[in-house]
Structure 1
Amino acid sequence: MSTTPATTPAGTDTATGTVTRLLQRQILPLDRDTDVFPLYVDLEEAKLDTDRHDVGGDKAAKDLNNAAIRQSTSTGRKLHPDQIRSRTALRLEPSQLLSFGTYFNAFPASYWRRHTVVDAVELTVDVTGPGSVVTVYKSMARGHSQRVDAATVEGDSGSFTFALDLKPFVDGGWYWYDVVAGDDGATVDGARWTAEVPADRAEHGTVDVCITTMLPDMSARLLGQLGDTEELQPYLDTVMVMDQGKDKVTESEYFPAAKAGLGDKLRVIVQGNLGGSGGYARGQLESVRKGTATYAMMMDDDVVCEPEGIIRAVTFGDLAKRPTIVGGHMFNLYSRAQLHSFGEIVQPWRFWWQTRLDGYSQWDFGARNLRSSRWLHKRADVDFNGWFMCLIPRVVLEEVGLSLPVFIKWDDSEFGLRAKQAGYPTVSFPGAAVWHIPWTDKNDGLDWQSYFHHRNRIIAALLHSPYERGGRMVRESLNHQIKHLASLQYSTAELRHLAMEDVLRGPHALHGELATKLPEINAFRKQWSDAQLHADRDDLPEVRRKKPPKKGKSDIEIPGRKATLVAAALAPLRQLRPVRPMAEQYPETELPAMDASWYNLVKYDSAVVSMNDGTSVALYQRDPAHYRDLLKRTLDIHRRFHREWPQLAQQYRDALAEITSPEAWEKTFAPWTDAEERR
């Protein structure tokens, strides 16, 4: 440890041919929102959970441990907003102890160790306040921490530099620092993590930020956030907004401020609604054709961004051993300390995206901090990163192609798998993140999006499944289809069936359908009452039934495993029985979204069901004739998929390079690019 200042980020060592680059700096919340404080600073103690190897393989013990891991360890200690003095400076009260071992301020050593040319770092912490102590810690992959070094402010202030090796982090682990204030309090004026890197890595890259939008106000506020961040400006090449909505972002009341902040770096591209994949592909195409930015970053429009994360992602990409996709994490916009997932994979047998097998979703850092969460210390290796925030090197786009033309859903995960196959890894990088509306508040598994979920999952499996017939893909599709049928969700079942029929039409139909498929399926699904949404419950009849529920059983109780299996076996058969008297005129029950699971829905011949987003209700009605017809079609098409899977997979794989090429996308964009040229 040294008390001399670290080499400046612009410093060059001519003897060794290296330069010093800033990897990460201490940051504090932009808006002083107390909900996000646990992501930046931590006042709680570390209470590490039990090692899973100590728990063993007993299912009951594992279930108990998983429940314990979710329990809050927070004591409710709070940091006062006034203690945040600036973006980088924090004031501590006398004798106060706090940790910077947090999501945004701990250093993710294992990710740098695994994926970059960096093999050692220097941490410099600037502290004002006599008697204040800085202590540096590291953790290992199994979560336990070790004290590394410490320093004490002997005068009024001190600048302490700690040399830190990355060798012990092959499987996981972090570095961080804690500060204890002296008797007169302290101010942590700043901290920075730097590294000596080869001279050819001296210059940072630049990024084209690609935002696809139909939400003018939210996207304009995001643009304003990007334009207001002074430190970010040198990293921005172009900020492209693919405006696909009826209401234009340029008409938002927030747009003039965004335009003033970004100036000539802002470009608004107007085109028809081609979905997320069409919007992002346009940004990718423009970035590749322009050729001036090192990276293109896909970013959702309905997010709040941590701008420092863009800088960190670019820096990590600059120093990666090979071109690497660098993804950010997603936090819940409404519960801002809650992390959606720390790293996602595509499970190859089921071919479904999910949080990695030894991780947890919906993790609340306000309840259990980073230092107390053992699983967060193992490096999370991923297959892809969601395009709510994802940095893609331009050279990767040039080699593997642009987005798959699938409108929405699975475009990001398919791209990650395609890039991985070509030798380009994806890293979901801690310390880079956005806040986004959580998936749980949407109805995308049942509404019009169910078509794209199902079609695109099958296409992605045809392209990338390592199994001859897609593993469990076809069987699971059949199970889900029967579940929707038995749950009276006929519009969803019909959309999923249509999705499978469209897959059989082959890959070359995808581009032509981008602009037309959404209105087609919206018109198609409105034939069924479960797709006809009512904002006012009184639009639908009151609940009436001839006989009361059997034994007065409640829909609130969740059935056990045996009861669930019995219900699953009997539900398809029950749908063949005649509809009960009165059920055609009156719903038999009302089910809130949280209780509208299949094992409840299968009990009824009609029901009023509320949607997950809380805005509307729909009437579910059983139709035995429709059920029999769709069940027959369902069995037939799944037999066909099982039979023809190998040939269909080869057809899609042979066409992949063509349908994701810039040339194919240029033809799709021609109606709007030609109009742009005429203007």
Structure 2
Amino acid sequence: MSQHSVTGANPVVAGQEAEQYLARISTAPEERGEDLREVARVVFPANRDLDSLPLYVDGPINLSGPSSAGSEAMGHPDDILSRRSVRIRPGRRVSFGSYFNAFPASYWRRWTVAEKVVLRVRTAGSGSLLVYRSNARGVSQRVEDRRVEGGQSSEFELTLAPFGDGGWYWFDLIADESGMELVEAAWLVPTAGRATGRVTLGITTFNRPDYCVNTIRTIAAAEGLDEVLDELIIVDQGNKLVSDEPDFPEAQAAMGGRLRMIRQGNLGGSGGFARNMYEVVEGRPGADGTEKSDYVLILDDDILLETEGVLRAVAFADMCRTPSIVGGHMFDMYNKPLLNAYAEVVNPYRFAWGPIEDLGGVDFAERGLRSRPKLHRRWDADYNGWWMCLIPRVVLEDVGLSLPVFIKWDDSEYSLRAREAGYPTISLPGAAVWHVSWADKDDAVDWQAYFHERNRLIAALLHSPYAKGGRMLRESLTTDTKHVVSMQYYAARAVLLAIQDVMAGPDRLHEVLPTRMPEIRAMKDEYTDARIVKDPAAFPPVRRSKPPKSQSGPRKPSKAALVPWAVRTVLKQTVKPVRELSREHPEASVAHMDSAWYALASLDSAVVSNADGTGASWYQRDPQQVRALVAESIRLHTELFGRWEALAQQYREALPRITSPEAWARTFAANSPAPRD
């Protein structure tokens, strides 16, 4: 190995010192007595899934526009020989500078005790092996190149020193005229005396038994998981049970005794995941006493799991300087190369969550990792979604379990709470699941609108650094007003109920956990905008006495014009009579993607399709409801504004109590499982 294989850290040496240095770094790490651990194996799609191939193999570098990442680099699906090996056809160049197979050096440099990484590559056939690195600006630099022939193992020792702000390592293979194979490759780091941690995988489910059985099978078949897996716990809160699936017995047997099924009443995601946390904190009886996992790794029920990410998350957490929450990313299940968010943060002034600007909706089918300079900078997250999130047991023991809030904001609040106690959250590239996209859900206008509002307010009361929650209350009033002028009266009423429940204080959260969701859902019958009709022919034809002046529809008001626009619109909707024809015929048929609040506000009625395209609702303007909802909204927001400081103190004092294992144990015991369907 030449001295250039250690980038950016070679000393200036001469004569005998240079010879000694070259001899030292040319010796394999195992010959120097170093204990190395595989922390990321180079892998390829299960079942030769070409849809996800761009995440494993990178295509040509293209900084200006789309390219066929992955598929152009590989000659044929048959070139994927196994989960760890591929064929490179004669004359082809294949880059493994991809999302799943490049090494996120800057994350290891920032958060772990590792100072270097070792790349091991085993090849067959003849060609060239090239090692690259990038910096935080995404500029690539060749680190090493080597000719390989026959069956050969190559090893490269690579420093992590220059990766303070960003950068990756990866390698390419170029086949000679006879072709070559990548037999296997892996990234390894010195263990620094760190032991391998043990993990409990925790899934909570409600009536998604088929997804869960598929996940059980995936975990049972995964190579290498036995080394870190204590058990898989599935908390089944539904009435269509996982254990009743025809394929369940086979999947259970494949787990070899490492699957535990727990049934309880429907306490939502926060209640199910809290149960997973609780079981890890309490431990389980073993031959020599109570045994406890080092980590719980939370997984959603409706996912496809890349099991290599589990190994990577555990290895990363084992090497972190301080106990850390290690999250995985979420790709779109129906558009597999699309990453929903690379790193997510909470805006402390608005107290709104979301991806960092330009780091949402990253489509690796258009351009691969090497063509995206922004992804080469290290991005630090405030929280990670609980579709895949590893939490050390010591964090659970220190800061408690989940908030009892059913769904929404439980994951982000937990990371904010942990950070205040000194435990960071890292969204780790190369660890991920595929999940149904949020774009296919109506959670902003259905029963979940209640939980969006209530739980965001609770999180702000607990963690906002600003007086009165910063801009939180102003945005809350704006959101509710948008619902009202959009004829979304069900969602508007749900928001107001959420505010009332927040002002009722924290001690009722456990009590209402199993009941609030069915109560909110039962309100749907009172509102035409909440009733989903599956048959498009069930609605009368669209008619309007006067056609709109513009075919493009209303435009969104500017920030400067928003307040005057809102005043005029609310006055019009509260005073102006409804056009009679709109009661018999909808004035427009509005696609979900076009159902913006400023567009709906101009109509007296409309048939609006839902997010997944399975049905539609008839929105109808009702001045009486508008008047009542607007008046109630102003009253409640004014009261909440006046009580903010007292409520914040009340919630913060109650937080350790309501998130304790003891409080959750009482809630688990009080909520019996639902009868089988």
Length-normalised TM-score, structure 2: 0.92
Identity of aligned residues (%): 48
Q: Report the RMSD for the aligned CA atoms in angstroms.
A: 2.0
| CA deviation after TM superposition for structure 1 residue 571, in Å | 2.0
Counterpart pick for 2:80 among 78, 84, 90: 84
Work out the CA distance in 2 between the residues paired with 1:564 and 1:365: 38
Q: Deviations over 1:52-105 (max 9, x none)?
A: xxxxxxxxxxxxxxxxxxx41337725211001111111001110010000010
Work out the CA distance in 1 between the residues paired with 2:166 and 2:73: 30
| CA deviation after TM superposition for structure 1 residue 673, in Å | 7.8
| CA deviation after TM superposition for structure 1 residue 518, in Å | 1.0
Q: Secondary structure of 1:636's match?
A: helix
Is 2:383 the partner of 1:384? yes
Work out the CA distance in 2 between the residues paired with 1:541 and 1:433: 46
Change (3 A) 1:5 1:208: farther
Look up the match of 2:551: 553
Q: Deviations over 1:450-480 (max 9, x none)?
A: 1001100000000000101101000000111
| CA deviation after TM superposition for structure 1 residue 674, in Å | 11
| CA deviation after TM superposition for structure 1 residue 672, in Å | 5.2
| CA deviation after TM superposition for structure 1 residue 403, in Å | 0.3
Look up the match of 1:183: 177
Is 2:118 the partner of 1:113? no
Q: Deviations over 1:596-615 (max 9, x none)?
A: 11121011111111101111
Change (3 A) 1:551 1:474: same
What amino acid is the match of 1:213? T
Work out the CA distance in 1 between the residues paired with 2:635 and 2:556: 32
Aligned positions of 1:170-249 closer than 5 A: 170-199=164-193, 201=194, 203-214=195-206, 215-249=208-242
Change (3 A) 1:673 1:539: closer
Look up the match of 2:62: 47
Q: Is the 2:122–2:153 Cα contact (8 Å) retained in structure 1?
A: yes
What amino acid is the match of 2:133? K
Counterpart pick for 2:122 among 122, 126, 138: 126
Change (3 A) 1:564 1:590: farther
Look up the match of 2:305: 305
Change (3 A) 1:669 1:12: farther
| CA deviation after TM superposition for structure 1 residue 257, in Å | 2.5
Look up the match of 1:31: 47
Is 2:139 the partner of 1:144? yes
Q: Secondary structure of 2:374's match?
A: helix
Aligned positions of 1:378-527 closer than 5 A: 378-527=377-526
Work out the CA distance in 2 between the residues paired with 1:395 and 1:630: 46
Work out the CA distance in 2 between the residues paired with 1:84 and 1:480: 50
Work out the CA distance in 1 between the residues paired with 2:470 and 2:46: 47
Is 2:175 the partner of 1:160? no
Q: Is the 2:400–2:656 Cα contact (8 Å) retained in structure 1?
A: yes
Work out the CA distance in 1 between the residues paired with 2:192 and 2:143: 27
Q: Secondary structure of 1:198's match?
A: coil
Q: Deviations over 1:11-65 (max 9, x none)?
A: 993xxxx521112111111121111111111232x2346xxxxxxxxxxxxxxxx
Work out the CA distance in 2 between the residues paired with 1:5 and 1:537: 72
Q: Secondary structure of 2:255's match?
A: helix
Q: Is the 2:116–2:158 Cα contact (8 Å) retained in structure 1?
A: yes
Give structure 1 stretches of 5+ with no counterpart: 50-70
Give structure 2 stretches of 5+ with no counterpart: 3-24, 284-290
Look up the match of 1:259: 252
Q: Is the 1:48–1:143 Cα contact (8 Å) retained in structure 2?
A: no
Length-normalised TM-score, structure 1: 0.91
Look up the match of 1:20: 36
Change (3 A) 1:96 1:558: farther
Q: Secondary structure of 2:176's match?
A: coil
| CA deviation after TM superposition for structure 1 residue 558, in Å | 5.2
Work out the CA distance in 2 between the residues paired with 1:564 and 1:522: 36
Work out the CA distance in 2 between the residues paired with 1:365 and 1:346: 25
Q: Is the 1:109–1:173 Cα contact (8 Å) retained in structure 2?
A: yes
| CA deviation after TM superposition for structure 1 residue 538, in Å | 2.3
What amino acid is the match of 1:580? R
| CA deviation after TM superposition for structure 1 residue 561, in Å | 4.0
Work out the CA distance in 1 between the residues paired with 2:606 and 2:515: 33
Q: Is the 2:237–2:673 Cα contact (8 Å) retained in structure 1?
A: no
Counterpart pick for 1:571 among 551, 569, 572: 569
Work out the CA distance in 2 between the residues paired with 1:362 and 1:326: 21
Change (3 A) 1:430 1:664: same
| CA deviation after TM superposition for structure 1 residue 238, in Å | 1.3
Q: Is the 1:226–1:232 Cα contact (8 Å) retained in structure 2?
A: yes
Structure 1 moving runs of 4+ over 6 Å = 2-5, 673-676
| CA deviation after TM superposition for structure 1 residue 375, in Å | 0.6
Q: Is the 1:125–1:188 Cα contact (8 Å) retained in structure 2?
A: yes
Change (3 A) 1:408 1:12: farther
| CA deviation after TM superposition for structure 1 residue 525, in Å | 3.2
Q: Is the 1:224–1:255 Cα contact (8 Å) retained in structure 2?
A: no
